[in-house]
A and B are shown apart, each in its own frame.
Chain A
């Protein structure tokens, strides 16, 4: 490996080491936006689900996905990995893509937990994650490497589509299969506000996710884009800048939108705005100009506020953490923005093919797999367990044993 190659290797490795911060941030956000009586369960499920995703992806996910030429720099002849990562040449630059993909699978597997908060049992969550990591995630990852359109390939180095939309669509499927939390909707269909139990977790989670997303997007720009060594430093700096300015623009836009809409800024929607900016920036992080990344963030900030309200009020989807809006809706917008702002008709069409594949293949696939699994292992906790809280019901211990457990006084009767 020459000096340029060694520098690229070191840079990519450094960025990949930041990605677990995104996983930690998302787990904190999911926990904070849930209820106090299920907080320990939320963190335990996050840890178990990430563990399942990593192991299943190691065993068969990467083999299902295939290596693809674009994952190495410079591109190497295609070598297909087999089960248990046999066939990977360790120590090569291509072996680093395995690390990134494993972490990406772990991050994507956390997304459905946000929509299923406070009512999804631990065992079925792990089983659903195993299917996601073995099938849904690698299928799109494989297709996105091979779906070429004249003028371009699907461009998504940071994983707007592969990580966020596939996770977000799974979140929507799981939320539908589980149904809303008890007391969420009144008899006439009006939703009750069930407040987040720890806003500090949520906002600190956003800051952790920022660090993780910087690593994810910069590493993705290096590892997944097959750039020449001379361009790697410049592209990774651009990816970090675009990620940061998009998140900043989206959070401020969400704050302004909620100020206008509800007369005061809403903390959880601002957090969702921040996350929406990170998600939307991922597809175009290495190609957009910073000004267009800001525009992408601004639109994501407005979109997430409207989408959260629309899903809750009109579509009756109980998504406590806004996972569908943040990851599916804004991930789709990120893919589209990468096509619009690059300014090439071929690239726009390629991005549309990516979106069509996610909606037309991945969504029915993930819904069908979860529907089938729900027939064998009932996803939802019993009404008694839900009332008691998942901490006591499933784990036998509260997250906050010294606190007084409050009642459902804010729920509509």
Chain B
């Protein structure tokens, strides 16, 4: 779960950077927020993975 969470964090950042690099105008912001939402999901997984009793989930 921890690894999955960190991968989602990196994926979210990848979406943000891809939006900055590839898109222009009004399309940039929605993709940045979408990437941010993916990162929030990743954070939730990372926190859940670190709760006591869930170490085996790593």
With known contacts A316-B52, A353-B16, A360–B32 Cβ distance under 8 A = no
| Option from B9, B28, B33, B47 in Cβ contact (under 8 Å) with A360 | B9
Residues of B within 8 A of A405 (CB): none
**A99 on the B face (CB < 8 A):** no
Between A and B, how many residue pairs show CB distances below 8 Å? 63
A346 — nearest CB in chain B belongs to which residue?
B29
Classify the interface of chain A: helix, strand, loop or mixed: helix
CB of A349 within 8 A of CB of B6, answer no
B28 touches A149 (CB 8 A): yes
Complex alpha-carbon distance, A316 and B48, angstroms: 10
Interface string of B29-46 (1 = CB under 8 A from A): 100110110010011000
Give the residue among A149, A345, A356 with the most B Cβ atoms within 10 A: A356
A315 within 8 A of partner (CB): yes
Instruction: Compute how far the CA of A49 lies from the CA of B36 in the bound complex, rounded to whole angstroms.
Output: 33
Q: How far is the CB of A152 from chain B (nearest CB, A)?
A: 12
B36 contacts A355, CB within 8 Å?
yes
Q: How far is the CA of A189 from the CA of B52 in the complex (A)?
A: 8
* A84 located at the interface, meaning its Cβ lies under 8 Å from any Cβ of chain B in the complex: no
Residue among B10, B33, B39 with max Cβ neighbours from chain A (10 Å): B39
Q: How far does the alpha carbon of A19 sit from the alpha carbon of B14 in the complex, in Å?
A: 35
The reply to whether B9 and A353 contact each other, CB–CB distance below 8 Å, is no
Q: Are B9 and A363 in contact (CB under 8 A)?
A: yes
Q: Contact flags (1/0) for B1-22 with A, using CB distance below 8 Å?
A: 0000010011111101000100
By the criterion of a CB under 8 Å from any partner CB, how many residues of chain A are at the interface? Answer: 24
Q: A356 to B25, alpha carbons, bound, how many Å?
A: 19
* Inter-chain contacts of B6 with A (CB < 8 A): 363-364, 367-368
B14, B16, B28, B35: which has the most chain A beta carbons within 10 Å?
Answer: B16
Partner of A150, one of B10, B14, B28, B33: B28
- Determine how close the nearest CB of chain A comes to the CB of B46; give it in whole angstroms: 8
Do B20 and A149 touch across chains, with their CB atoms under 8 A apart?
yes
User: By the criterion CB–CB under 8 Å, are A360 and B25 in contact?
Assistant: no
Whether the pair B12, A349 counts as a contact (CB closer than 8 A) is no
Within 8 A of B (CB), among A333-389: 345, 349, 352-353, 355-357, 359-361, 363-364, 367-368
Are B52 and A353 within 8 A (Cβ)? no
CA distance A316 to B33 in the complex (A): 29
Are A353 and B33 in contact, with the CB atoms below 8 A?
no
Partner of B10, one of A149, A185, A360: A360
Q: Bits for A157-176, please: 1 = Cβ < 8 Å to B, else 0.
A: 00000000000000000001
Q: Which residue, B11, B14, B25, B32, has most C-beta atoms of chain A within 10 A?
A: B32
Instruction: Indicate if A193 sits at the interface (CB-CB under 8 A).
Output: no
B33 x A315 contact (CB < 8 A):
no
Question: Given A150-B25, A349-B32, is A357 in contact with B52 using a C-beta cutoff of 8 Å?
Answer: no
A147 contacts the other chain (Cβ, under 8 Å)?
yes
User: Of B13, B25, B50, which contacts A361 at CB under 8 A?
Assistant: B13
* Given A316-B52, A357-B13, A364-B9, 20 new contacts (CB under 8 A): A148-B20, A149-B28, A150-B25, A176-B50, A189-B52, A316-B50, A349-B29, A353-B16, A356-B12, A356-B32, A356-B35, A356-B39, A360-B9, A360-B12, A360-B13, A360-B42, A363-B6, A363-B9, A367-B6, A368-B6
Interchain Cβ contacts under 8 Å between A and B, 18 examples: A147-B20, A185-B52, A316-B50, A316-B51, A317-B50, A349-B28, A352-B33, A352-B36, A353-B32, A356-B12, A356-B13, A356-B35, A357-B13, A359-B43, A360-B9, A360-B10, A364-B6, A367-B6
